[in-house]
Structure 1
Amino acid sequence: MGTVTALYRYPVKSTLGEALTSVAVTEAGLSGDRVIAVLDETGAVGSAKHPRKWGELLRCRSRLDDSGTVCLALPDGTTLPVGDPELDLLLTKLLGRPVRLSSVVPEHGRLERAVPTYAGGVPDVLRDAASVDETGESITTGRVAGGTFFDFGRVHLVTTTSLARMREAYPAGDFDPRRFRPNLVVGTDTGTDADSGPGFPEDAWIGTRLRVGEALFRVVVPTPRCVIPTLGHDELPADPGIMRAVARHHRVPVLDLGRLSCLGVYLDVLEARRVEVGDAITVHKAD
């Protein structure tokens, strides 16, 4: 029913990542994905979900070199391995406050998210509890997934069909998959699901098992979208209309959080194997 058309990983959380042709999948997700994060002295984990505070991270790019060392390229082109003390100093200058790179998830690390103005951008209960921080932004505060730098799911998938559906809904927008920071981009045949409507096939996969080449995943939940897709990514310009369009055309139930603006799905790893571009995708009902 589809094939893997692109693979991405992001070794340093909230930075631009790297395109791959093949990657090992572990129980924790794609090997090398989100293994490092930028932390500040308040205990916050660097996330461009709070653009006023961390948006400069999206102008940096991380990758693994041939030895498996995580390297970070800054906006001026300076590239250093994580662990080089100069890199922390340069990031501190870039972000305007003391920060450091870490592979250790802080026990009480906070994850801050700007509250979008569009409907479905955050659960109502969290919107009501939001506070304004020192940047003047209305934010909510939560935690990363236990023991990781992931927000929730270990693997994130989007389909070309969903992206095409959103292009039809908002022709002025550039729905390049990189805006949505997926691990897997899956080329799918256009179809209609009775519940999700035309163009969002992954909605029907929740609770199923997904065979991707030799690896096996469980499709856990739709992916709620934050402000990140609206920000500039590499040569892609900022476009606030991207998420307004998703909010208008694809709000779906997510756990007990209500109907949220979603695109893509989160996966858990059931069988860790290697995944490659071109691998076939098959959907299997849960046992």
Structure 2
Amino acid sequence: MNRVLDLRRHPLKSAAPEHVADAFIGKHGLDGDRTWTCLDADGTIGSAKQPRLWSRLLDVAAAFDPAQGEVTVAVPGRTPARAGTPEADDAVSTWLGRPVRLTRQPPQQLKRHHWWPDEPGMIPDWATGKEPGGDDVVAARHDAEGGRFFDYGALHLVTTGALERLSAEHGSAVDPARFRPNLVLDLPADPEPGQRITIGADVVLEVAIPTPRCVIPSLAHGDAPADRALLKTLAAHHRIDVPDFGRATCFGFYADIRAVGTVAVGDAVTVTG
């Protein structure tokens, strides 16, 4: 039976995922997902897409309490603290080595730093004029109605079939944590754009587009060490045409939410359309 294998949320953008047994998926995504971000002194928000500045954020844990609507952050070696307090700001600032502030409110000019990978094929067609290995400041996105700091879609998914294929191409097992999904589905392959995914009794998703990849999959994620060669594998085998955008190296997919409800690990998954 096809099913939900894993369920993850990221209460703090670019921090480590929180593995949960069940969660509510509303019209803006997984409850509590990417509701907080780090604000740097230059006014940009935190994203590990510029690892020189933000890769250490991947080791910061964040947990969402649905009952209280609060997020707790835990920096290695420090006592957990509630996001929005001076204690949390100080812990994350000390860990990163510069002053930052955790916030739910986007700055007026919402931007982030982005490092363009120097591996051939990792820059998408629509990023015209970008230099491999270059640092850039780009516009960031915020879902004002839902209060989410998303790069593109509200829900990101990967499948076991695609992961198995990638692992065979790469010559070693690839941890799904490298792609920061919300759901890992036990399916033989990724569904196509336009197909619908029913999860459990209530939730219905519609596949939107494949997910363009950046440098993040090659960084260290918890027990998964840095793997620069993974970008070469992705570029060699997963550069495709993204409808309405152009060619890009992709893995996983974004989905739109057509019907809301609670999902749980082990829920049945059905693909139609």
Q: Distance in 2 between matches of 1:127 and 1:93?
A: 37
5+ long unaligned stretches in structure 1: 190-200
What aligned pairs does 1:41-190 form with structure 2 within 5 A after superposition?
41-65=41-65, 67-126=68-127, 128-129=129-130, 137-139=134-136, 141-147=138-144, 148-172=148-172, 174-189=173-188
2:212 alignment partner in structure 1: 224
Query: Residue 140 and residue 254 in structure 1: after superposition, are their counterparts in 2 closer, same or farther (change >3 A)?
Result: farther
How many angstroms does 1:125 deviate by? 4.6
1:26 alignment partner in structure 2: 26
TM-score, normalised with respect to structure 2? 0.91
What aligned pairs does 1:189-200 form with structure 2 within 5 A after superposition?
189=188
TM-score, normalised with respect to structure 1? 0.87
1:264 alignment partner in structure 2: 252
Task: Show CA shifts across 1:154-194 (max 9, x none).
Answer: 0000000011001111114x4111111110101113xxxxx
How many angstroms does 1:145 deviate by? 4.3
User: Alignment identity in percent?
Assistant: 38
Q: Is 39-48 or 250-259 further displaced after alignment?
A: 250-259
Q: CA RMSD in A?
A: 1.9
SS across alignment from 1:205? coil
Q: Number of aligned pairs?
A: 268
Which runs of 4 or more aligned residues in structure 1 lie more than 3 Å from their structure 2 counterparts after TM superposition? 65-68, 129-132
Q: Distance in 1 between matches of 2:79 and 2:131?
A: 37
Query: Residue 206 and residue 142 in structure 1: after superposition, are their counterparts in 2 closer, same or farther (change >3 A)?
Result: same
1:209 alignment partner in structure 2: 196
How many angstroms does 1:208 deviate by? 1.9
Query: Residue 236 and residue 77 in structure 1: after superposition, are their counterparts in 2 closer, same or farther (change >3 A)?
Result: farther
Q: Distance in 1 between matches of 2:126 and 2:157?
A: 27
How many angstroms does 1:106 deviate by? 2.4
Task: Show CA shifts across 1:195-246 (max 9, x none).
Answer: xxxxxx32x4212222111201121100011111111111111001112111
